[in-house]
Structure formats: structure tokens, C-alpha cells
């Protein structure tokens, strides 16, 4: 043990020498040394406040032992600590007795009872008996402080964890202490609910049962929970979660603290959408359209449903097939479908993205960054969707880096975003013109230009608006690559396992392992036997072809083009025109309800395998519950279909699929099943290699809007009409009805009162909508959320246009 390690000090804890990082809090050093100091208010991801006084220990810095809160005392060389001294024990007993003085002890009905730090620490360090005989403090029993969170102030021990989280981590300081002394309590502001996207985290970190989650309320007790660790696939962040079930029903997700991704936090959507898996509306048996009545779907068996599907696929021929979707699938499922499509059906018409992402070749060819890179970079350049709405935990990480670290976040966006409170600069650009604005900055003598050119840069690039084509994002990527060659990229693609699906080749022109279609690995050639040589169609292309009658059979792999494809009219026409639509889904969505053959599949929590997040980080999914009815994994459906099509995928299990992936996918070489099963995979296994090159197309500047038109901007909200949200009873009410936001001057010009209904006209459709004035928008623009209940902006969007304009009229 050398004494001269820089930034390290030696501390004596309970007689043992412990090396600790200089400046580290004593409680953290003790934790690492395996000495547990009881605590309530201390949380390793938040600043210390020293409020609960539970972590008082005897600290001797040469002036004799003194009781000090170990969450507030930084370690110092030669410090001697006794966590078991008589004084410490007496203080711990005293503090616990004080905490219990007003704690209601309604443990039997408390959701926390059984996993409660207050219970546990009272058992371990408490006095055993209370001397308090007076009446306890009383408040109204739980008050809902938001739609998802209940607050029981009687149970609260005022540790400041939730309020600190809301303020420090989430940036939504909507709860705080009120009153003083004995009546101090946590409350929201009057008439202002704790409507944070991250409110569920406060429930998880509450050391007592003061904050409880409405979806979990009285669902189970901790001792009848079963738990596995898994990865959230709600968006492409890949947050580590603990999935808990009771009696084969998912009841709770908890965030698991991993350094690389989520730091233990989850967004409320990812935390509470387990309700969708449990939904009564899940499909449990295959459905076939009634040959006698087009409007009817009949329950069927797998044999006939698959036979019908195989027949439709054979009928259509390899050019007449289009396979849309797949970002809901696990990596293994995606690989099986990629293999089925290319080697057996012999088509390259497959695309995991629904015209709402970036070209797969672009995603594969950009120099990759990690989330950690972004949080350490000098500048993070965000040109993409509103991260708070679409990749909420990435927003949280960047916010943390911007508020606590040295990272500066610069955002270029056509509409205001949730990141604005912490960005160094929010540059408002015209829709589709982000590259132009960025170019102007880079060519100016702005400090920002210097910093971008000289400092480290991570660019978060994605689709800013569904109403503009991907050309705008491609132009930004091209500009950054040319002007800032040192910059690395995070592609802000939103869907669950979209990155994994692209890696597995669920996109035209790319094969598993991030290789181009004309450059298959020899292992792939050997095992697959056949790969198409021509690049196929992407989703837009397939839908167009279907609408023209060129594609006769459409396979929807968990995709709902009617809700998610930017151009609803095109999607509707394609589904209408296609002779057979085969849908693999959990629910009857807008699109699958129109399908001819519906094959029910397993949902999150019912399937094992792996998933890949937006960084290219592979982590494990763990099956927790047995799926309902006769639903099947997507890969099983692929192998069955292959069989009925006269081929054989030779895939027998998820594990065996992964072994094959590891063999054929050059980028995944070395990522063995053993590694995936190992402890290493908790943080995820980062895969960054790629051999795909992207030829940037020349991009035209978008046309100027005419004097009457408003340029449409459309992004997603966290609470939207997406399937998992609408199938979760607790979350469904949170999605608001859509309103069209327009600058007040534009409304005034048209003589429209804010809040009134207007007629909205685009080249695609004419609809009535409520218009509301919003000063934060630029003049000449209109903001409409993409997919809210009852109405989606996709009715107005022409997917082939670079930008979309609308007109509004009074009714």
C-alpha cells in the first residue's frame, strides 16, 4: 500500500485503514470499505444536506472524537472514525426515537412496509422501545400531489430527498417544505401539481412510505415480489431497471443505478407502462379476417394463421413484399426477421424505422459517442427532437452535466424545447434550416464557434420535427462532419430497440453487424446462403409502392404506420391497397385492426434476449412473467414462417441466435453469450465498430413559406397516444388533447381568438382544431404535437415534402 497516491487519503474506519478519494464524503468512503453507516437523507447521486442526522459518527481529526454527520464531512488524511462507539450508538438510537415520535407506524397498510429503510434501520439501530406517549402529528392521509404520486405527510420524515431530486436532478422544483418546526411538511404549490416527467423517482428514493405511486398502490407487499434485472425499452436510452412481479403480474419497475446510462433514474413513462403488459386488451390468440365479412376478425389457431401468412408471402413474390417495423423487437427477434426476409423471402424491402428516423447508413457511419462522452464534452450540440419529451433520461443526464459539470449545451431548434432551462444558448432556427444556422455560427467570430472548433463536441442529432424530411438532419450531420471533424455523435432515435434493429439489418441496404448489403461477411454468406444484392425500399418507399399496388403483402412488425408514419394518408392508402397485411403485435392498434392476419407476440417483461441503446450499448432483457394466451416470440414466428416457406432458419433459441449473430455480425464479434450473461453486461457492452459508409446526398434548402402559410412543426410528447401509454390506465389520462400553437401576432392577423377552433388546411387534409396563442414560437410557424389522443399531426404531413405548411381559417 503506497502512501503517495495522488488525490488519495488514508482514513481509519473502525480500526481498519481505508484508502479514500480526497474530497469524498466520509459516508461514501465507508460504503466502499463495507462499513454501513445508517442514513436517510444522504443519496449518492444528490448533494448532501445533513438533515436527518442519522449518519452521525465519532470523527477524530486529532482534537478528540466528535459526533459529525458523515455525509457532510469530507475525508481527511489521518482521520479516525468510529461508527460503533457508545456516543454514536446513543445518537443513532436518539435520532430514530425522534423520527418515530411522529411517524404513524401504519406499516401494515404502507406500501413501503417490508422494504422500508426506516423499518430496517429501526430494527438495526433503534432503541427498541419508544418513550413517546403523546398524540402524533396528524394530516389528511394521502393527498395526490400529481396523477401518479400520493403524499402521506404523516409518514414523511422530511429528509429532503424528493424535494432535492425535484430541484437538483429533475429541474422541476414543484415540491418544497412549507411551515416550520413541528408542522414542517412537504407540499406542492397551491393549485400546481407535481407534474414532473420524473415524479416516480421520488417514490423510489423516499426512505419511508410518504410518497407512493398510484399504479403500485396496494398492489403487492414487498415480500411477495419477484424481481429480475432488465433493460427498459420504452425509448432507446436503455435504462437499467428492476422488473418486479407478483403472481405473474408485473407490478413495479425500479431504476437500477448504472454509471453509464441512467444513474438509477427512470422517466415516469418507462416506470409505469408495465400496466400495458398486464392490459386486458392484449391479443392472446391469432386473428384472421373473416372471409365472409370484411369487418370481422375471427379468433384462429397458429397453424391456420401462419399458413395463411405464408401463402400471402409466397403469392406476393420477393418484390411484392414489404416488411415494416421491428424496433420493438429484441436483437435476436430482429436478426431472425432480417434473416427470414433476406435469405428466405429474398427481399431487401425492410425497415425498422417509420420514416421518422435517420437513414441506417448515416447512423452506422457517424463517429459514435457515448452518453458519458456527452456529459464530459465541452459542448453538446443538440439538433434534434425535444429530448425532454422523447429521450427523457438523456435530457436528465445532459441537464446534470450542464448544471453541475463544465459541459455547455447548445440547442438549435425550430420550436422551444424542454432543455431550454439549462442550455447555454438556444438558437431558434426555421424549420428544416438548422444546418444553415449552424453554418452561420461556425463561420462567425462568436465564442461559441471557437469553442466548437477547439473544444470537444458531442452532437446529438435526430429529427427535430416530423413535418420536415430527414434531409434537414442529414445536412446538419454533414456540416458537423465536415466542419468539426473531431465531433462525435449520438443519434437521437427514439424507438425502443431501433439501434439494435438497424444493427441486425432491419433496414434496406444494411446487413447484420453494420455492413453494407454489397459487403456481407463471409460467415454471413456461408450461413445465410443468399443475400439480395440490390438495396430495397425504406418505409416511405414501401408504403408508396403498396399504394401503387406494387407491393401486395405488407408485414407490420409491431409497427403502426397509421399512427406513427408522418404521412397518415399515404399509410392509409397503402394498407387499404395491399392485398394482405400481416401484423405482429401486442394490441389491436389503428393499423393492426386493419390487418388481415394478426399474430400476437410477447410483450416487455415476457421475453428475454438483448437490446441495444442509442449509443450501441448491448444489455440484457430478462423475462419475468409467463405470457398470456398462446402468444409467441417474434423469432419463433419467423422460424415457423420460414419452414412454411420451404426454408429453415436453423434458429432454436435466443441464446443460439446470439451465437449466430456473434459469428456473422463483424461489429458484434467478441460479444459472446458468456459476456452477455456476465456481470459486465449490467453496464452494457458497448459496440461501436462499423464498416458502413454513407454518401451524403446534396440537400436543397427548404422552400420559403408563402405569406399565408404557417410552417408546421411537429414533435412527440412524452405523454402521447402511443400504444403503451394508451394501454396503461394510469398514464392514458396524462396525454392531453392536441392544440395547435401559433404566435399571437399570426392569430391576430387572421382575426382568430386564442382558444377557439380553427380550420386547418394542408395539402393532405383539412381538419378542425383548437388554436392557442404561444409567444415562445417564432412568427410564421405552427406547433402541433405529433400523436396526441384523438388527433395526430400526421394527417397534415406529406412525407415526400422537405417541409410542410398549413393554413388556418376561422370557422
Partner 1 sequence: MSEMLGTEIAHAAGFIANETPRIVTARFDYEDSFTLERYEITGGYQALRKALQQAPEDVHKEVTNATLLGRGGAGFPAGVKWGFCPPGVWPRYLVVNGDESEPGTYKDRLLMELDPHQLIEGCLIACYAVGLSQCFLYVRGEMAVAQERIARALNDAYEAGYIGRNILGSHFSVDIVLHWGAGAYVVGEETALIESLEGNRGMPRLKPPYFPASIGLYGQPTIVNNVETLSNLPWIIDNGADAFTNIGTETSPGTRMVAVSGHVKRPGVYEIVNGTTTFRDLLYGQDMCGGIRDDNQLKAFVPGGGSAPWFTPDQLDLPFEASQVGPQGSMLGSGAIMVMDETTDIPAAALTLTKFYAHESCGKCVPCREGGTWLEQILRRVVDGRGSRRDLDLLIEVGETICPGDFPHAAVPSKGIEAKPFPYKMTTICFVGPSAFAPIHSALTLFREEFEAKVAGNDDRVLIEVPVNV
Partner 2 sequence: MGYLDGFKVTFKKLFEERVTTEYPKEKRPKPPRFHGRHVLNRYEDGMEKCIGCELCAGVCPAKCIYVRGADNPETEPVSPGERYGYVYEINYLRCIHCDLCVEACPTEAITESKLFEFSFANRSDAIYTKDELVVDDDGQPKRQPWELWHDGDDLATSGWMRATAPSGNPDYQNRVGWSGELGYGVRAPETGQQEKFPELSDLDFLTEDQAEEQH
**Residues at the interface with partner 1 (CB under 8 A):** 48-54, 56, 66-67, 69, 72, 87, 90-91, 94-95, 97-99, 101-102, 131-135, 157-158, 176-177, 179-184
Spatial contact of 313 and 321, defined as CB atoms under 8 Å apart: yes
Nearer to partner 1, 61 or 672 (CB): 61
Binding mask 192-231 for partner 2 (x = CB under 8 A): -------------------------xx-xx-xx-------
Nearer to partner 1, 87 or 319 (CB): 87
Least separation, in Å, of the C-beta of 91 and partner 1?
6
DSSP lists the bridge partners of residue 787 as 792
Nearer to partner 2, 101 or 105 (CB): 105
Nearer to partner 1, 49 or 478 (CB): 49
- Residue 50, contacted partner among partner 1, partner 2, none, CB below 5-8 A by kind: partner 1
Nearer to partner 1, 180 or 295 (CB): 180
Question: Do β-strands 757-761 and 609-612 pair in parallel, antiparallel, or remain unpaired?
Answer: unpaired
- For position 301 contacting partner 2 by CB under 8 A, the verdict is no
Using CA atoms of 303, 307, 313, 315 in order, give the dihedral in degrees to the nearest 10: -170
* Helix (H) or strand (E) segment spanning residue 577: helix 568-577
Handedness of CA 419, 425, 429, 434 (dihedral sign): negative
In sequence order, which residues have a C-beta less than 8 Å from that of residue 456 and are 6 or more positions away? 373, 376, 377, 378, 379, 486
Nearer to partner 2, 217 or 404 (CB): 217
3-class state of residue 228 by DSSP? strand
- Alpha carbon 211 to chain centroid distance? 23
- Residue 223, contacted partner among partner 1, partner 2, none, CB below 5-8 A by kind: partner 2
Closest to 233 measured CA to CA, from 375, 323, 334: 334
The CA distance from 136 to 35, in Å, is 34
Helices (H) and strands (E) in the chain, counts: 26, 38
For the chain, the straight-line distance linking the first and the last C-alpha, in angstroms and rounded, comes to 81
Least separation, in Å, of the C-beta of 247 and partner 2?
8
Q: Which of 69, 113, 355, 605 binds partner 2 (CB under 8 A)?
A: 113
- For position 142 contacting partner 2 by CB under 8 A, the verdict is yes
Nearer to partner 1, 131 or 295 (CB): 131
Spatial contact of 430 and 703, defined as CB atoms under 8 Å apart: no
Least separation, in Å, of the C-beta of 218 and partner 2?
4
∠ Cα 428 432 433 (to 5°): 55
Nearer to partner 1, 34 or 62 (CB): 62
- Residue 98, contacted partner among partner 2, partner 1, none, CB below 5-8 A by kind: partner 1
Nearer to partner 1, 109 or 753 (CB): 109
Least separation, in Å, of the C-beta of 220 and partner 2?
8
Nearer to partner 1, 97 or 573 (CB): 97
Nearer to partner 1, 2 or 182 (CB): 182
- Alpha carbon 461 to chain centroid distance? 16
Q: Which of 17, 106, 257, 290 binds partner 2 (CB under 8 A)?
A: 106
- For position 114 contacting partner 2 by CB under 8 A, the verdict is yes
- Alpha carbon 328 to chain centroid distance? 12
Q: Which of 5, 16, 22, 109 binds partner 2 (CB under 8 A)?
A: 109
Least separation, in Å, of the C-beta of 126 and partner 2?
14
- Residue 295, contacted partner among partner 2, partner 1, none, CB below 5-8 A by kind: none
The dihedrals phi and psi of 718, each to the nearest 5 degrees, come to: -60, -45
Least separation, in Å, of the C-beta of 675 and partner 1?
44
Least separation, in Å, of the C-beta of 198 and partner 2?
25
In sequence order, which residues have a C-beta less than 8 Å from that of residue 641 and are 6 or more positions away? 306, 309, 310, 313, 340
Spatial contact of 461 and 384, defined as CB atoms under 8 Å apart: yes
Least separation, in Å, of the C-beta of 81 and partner 2?
35
Whole-Å CA distances, 721 to 559, 786, 792: 14, 9, 9
Residue whose C-alpha cell reads 422530511 in the numeric block: 158
- Residue 221, contacted partner among partner 1, partner 2, none, CB below 5-8 A by kind: partner 2
Closest to 255 measured CA to CA, from 395, 393, 419, 114: 393
- Residue 189, contacted partner among partner 2, partner 1, none, CB below 5-8 A by kind: none
DSSP lists the bridge partners of residue 249 as 246
- Residue 158, contacted partner among partner 1, partner 2, none, CB below 5-8 A by kind: partner 1
Q: In terms of C-beta density within 10 A (0-12 exposed, 13-18 middle, 19 or more buried), how is residue 629 classed?
A: exposed
- For position 550 contacting partner 2 by CB under 8 A, the verdict is no
Least separation, in Å, of the C-beta of 211 and partner 1?
18
Question: Do β-strands 379-383 and 457-461 pair in parallel, antiparallel, or remain unpaired?
Answer: parallel
Nearer to partner 2, 103 or 654 (CB): 103
Closest to 193 measured CA to CA, from 148, 156, 138: 148
Binding residues vs partner 2 (CB under 8 A): 106, 108-109, 113-114, 141-142, 217-218, 220-221, 223-224
Amino acid at each position: 500500500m503506497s502512501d503517495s497516491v495522488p488525490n488519495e487519503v488514508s482514513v481509519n474506519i473502525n480500526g481498519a485503514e481505508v484508502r479514500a478519494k480526497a474530497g469524498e464524503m466520509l459516508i461514501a468512503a465507508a460504503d466502499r470499505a463495507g462499513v454501513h453507516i445508517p442514513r436517510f437523507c444522504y443519496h449518492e447521486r444528490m448533494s448532501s444536506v445533513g438533515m436527518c442526522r442519522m449518519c452521525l459518527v465519532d470523527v477524530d481529526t486529532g482534537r478528540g472524537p466528535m459526533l459529525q454527520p458523515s455525509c457532510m464531512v469530507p475525508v481527511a488524511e489521518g482521520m479516525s472514525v468510529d461508527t460503533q462507539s457508545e456516543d454514536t450508538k446513543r445518537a443513532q438510537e436518539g435520532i430514530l426515537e425522534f423520527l418515530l415520535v411522529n411517524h404513524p407506524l401504519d406499516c401494515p397498510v404502507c406500501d413501503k412496509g417490508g422494504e422500508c429503510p426506516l423499518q430496517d434501520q429501526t430494527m438495526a439501530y433503534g432503541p427498541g422501545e419508544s418513550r413517546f406517549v403523546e398524540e402524533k402529528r396528524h394530516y389528511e392521509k394521502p393527498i395526490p400531489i400529481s396523477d401518479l404520486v400520493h403524499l402521506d405527510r404523516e409518514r414523511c420524515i422530511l429528509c429532503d430527498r424528493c424535494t432535492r431530486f425535484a430541484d437538483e436532478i429533475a429541474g422541476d422544483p414543484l415540491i418544497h417544505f412549507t411551515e416550520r418546526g413541528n408542522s414542517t411538511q412537504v407540499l406542492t404549490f397551491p393549485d400546481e401539481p407535481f407534474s414532473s416527467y420524473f415524479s416516480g423517482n421520488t417514490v423510489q428514493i423516499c426512505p419511508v412510505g410518504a410518497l407512493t405511486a398510484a399504479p403500485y398502490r396496494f398492489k403487492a407487499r414487498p415480500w411477495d415480489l419477484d424481481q429480475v434485472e432488465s433493460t427498459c425499452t420504452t425509448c432507446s436510452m436503455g435504462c437499467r431497471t428492476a422488473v418486479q412481479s407478483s403472481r405473474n403480474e408485473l407490478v413495479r419497475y425500479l431504476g437500477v443505478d448504472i454509471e453509464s446510462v441512467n444513474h438509477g433514474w427512470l422517466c415516469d413513462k418507462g416506470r409505469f407502462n408495465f400496466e400495458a403488459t398486464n392490459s386486458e386488451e392484449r391479443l392472446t390468440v391469432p386473428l384472421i379476417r373473416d372471409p365472409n365479412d370484411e369487418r370481422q376478425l375471427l379468433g384462429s389457431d397458429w397453424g391456420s394463421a401462419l399458413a395463411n401468412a405464408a401463402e400471402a408471402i409466397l403469392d406476393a413474390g420477393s418484390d411484392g413484399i414489404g416488411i415494416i417495423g421491428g424496433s420493438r423487437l429484441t436483437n435476436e427477434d430482429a436478426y431472425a426477421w432480417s434473416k427470414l426476409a433476406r435469405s428466405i423471402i429474398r427481399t431487401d424491402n425492410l425497415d425498422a424505422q417509420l420514416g421518422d428516423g435517420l437513414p441506417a447508413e448515416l447512423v452506422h457511419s457517424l463517429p459514435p459517442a457515448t452518453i458519458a462522452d456527452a456529459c464530459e464534452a465541452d459542448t453538446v450540440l443538440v439538433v434534434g427532437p425535444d429530448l425532454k419529451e422523447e429521450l427523457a433520461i438523456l435530457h436528465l443526464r445532459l441537464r446534470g452535466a450542464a448544471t453541475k459539470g463544465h459541459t455547455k449545451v447548445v440547442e438549435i431548434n425550430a420550436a422551444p424545447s424542454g432543455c431550454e432551462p439549462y442550455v447555454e444558448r438556444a438558437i431558434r432556427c426555421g424549420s428544416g434550416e438548422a444546418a444553415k444556422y449552424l453554418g452561420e455560427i461556425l463561420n462567425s467570430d462568436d465564442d461559441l464557434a471557437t469553442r466548437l472548433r477547439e473544444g470537444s463536441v458531442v452532437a446529438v442529432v435526430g429529427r427535430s420535427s416530423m413535418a420536415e424530411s430527414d434531409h434537414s438532419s442529414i445536412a446538419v450531420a454533414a456540416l458537423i462532419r465536415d466542419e468539426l471533424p473531431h465531433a462525435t455523435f449520438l443519434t437521437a432515435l427514439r424507438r425502443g430497440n431501433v439501434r439494435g434493429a438497424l444493427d441486425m439489418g432491419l433496414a434496406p441496404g444494411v446487413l447484420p453487424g453494420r455492413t453494407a448489403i454489397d459487403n456481407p461477411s463471409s460467415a454471413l454468406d456461408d450461413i445465410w446462403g443468399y443475400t439480395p444484392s440490390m438495396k430495397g425500399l425504406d418505409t416511405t418507399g414501401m408504403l408508396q409502392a403498396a399504394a401503387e399496388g406494387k407491393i401486395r403483402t405488407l408485414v407490420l412488425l409491431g409497427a403502426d404506420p397509421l399512427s406513427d408514419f408522418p404521412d397518415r394518408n399515404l399509410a392509409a392508402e397503402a394498407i387499404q391497397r395491399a392485398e394482405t397485411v400481416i401484423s405482429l403485435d401486442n394490441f389491436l392498434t389503428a393499423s393492426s385492426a386493419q390487418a388481415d392476419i394478426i399474430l400476437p407476440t410477447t410483450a416487455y417483461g415476457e421475453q428475454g434476449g438483448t437490446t441495444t441503446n442509442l449509443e450501441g450499448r448491448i444489455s440484457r432483457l430478462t423475462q419475468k412473467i409467463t405470457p398470456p394466451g398462446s402468444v409467441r416470440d417474434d423469432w419463433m414466428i419467423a422460424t415457423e414462417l420460414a419452414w412454411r416457406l420451404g426454408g429453415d432458419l436453423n434458429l432454436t433459441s435466443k441464446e443460439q441466435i446470439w451465437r449466430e449473430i456473434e459469428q456473422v455480425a463483424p461489429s458484434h464479434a467478441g460479444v459472446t453469450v458468456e459476456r452477455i450473461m456476465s456481470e459486465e453486461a449490467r453496464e452494457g457492452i458497448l459496440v461501436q465498430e462499423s464498416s458502413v459508409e454513407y454518401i451524403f446526398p446534396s440537400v436543397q434548402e427548404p422552400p420559403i413559406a408563402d405569406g399565408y402559410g404557417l410552417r408546421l412543426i411537429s414533435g412527440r410528447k412524452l405523454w402521447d397516444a402511443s400504444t403503451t401509454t394508451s394501454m396503461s390506465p394510469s398514464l392514458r389520462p396524462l396525454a392531453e388533447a392536441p392544440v395547435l400553437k401559433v404566435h399571437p401576432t399570426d392569430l391576430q392577423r387572421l382575426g382568430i381568438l386564442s382558444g377557439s377552433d380553427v380550420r386547418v388546411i394542408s395539402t393532405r387534409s383539412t381538419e378542425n382544431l383548437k388554436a392557442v396563442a404561444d409567444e415562445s414560437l417564432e412568427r410564421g410557424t405552427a406547433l402541433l404535437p405529433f400523436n396526441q389522443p384523438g388527433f395526430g399531426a400526421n394527417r397534415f404531413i406529406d412525407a415526400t415534402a422537405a417541409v410542410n405548411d398549413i393554413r388556418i381559417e376561422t370557422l
